[in-house]
Amino acid sequence: MNKIGNYALLGTYEYGDRNNVEVIATSDKPEKLRCIKKAINQVNTKLMDKDRDEPSKEVTDIIDDKLSEIDLVDDTTAFVNQINIIGIFNIIEVDSEITINCHKCNKILFQGTEKEAKRQIIYCTDCAQEKTE
């Protein structure tokens, strides 16, 4: 499994059918993402009102030197996408693992995430059977 960084650079692609917010890059170091953000903004500025199908050598050098890991250039057409940066965000895990025990016999009834447990009816069949006997 690939480890993602603790920080993510999010953005949207201006052209084509990619109209979702996307993770542009991740890193454990926000400084690295700030450098990527700066390079993307440089490319966008240099290509403003210019043909994105034929970028200048200066733009190509920025992409090759600083943005090689970013999906900025279409492989088929060589079109340079415009990425609108939303920001750099700290990644945290929200849906944590939980364990639910029977309050009477302490038997483990469920282990998983809060999301998985939602809307489930969780009860101890052993203790419920004792009540009916």
Low-confidence ranges of the chain (pLDDT < 50): 1-2
Domain boundaries, the chain: 7-90, 97-132
Which distant-in-sequence residues (6+ apart) come within 8 Å of 12 by Cβ? 18, 19, 20, 21, 22, 83, 84, 86
Task: Find how far residue 127's CA is from the centre of its chain.
Answer: 43
pTM over 0.85: no
pLDDT at 113: 87
pLDDT at 23: 92
pLDDT at 85: 94
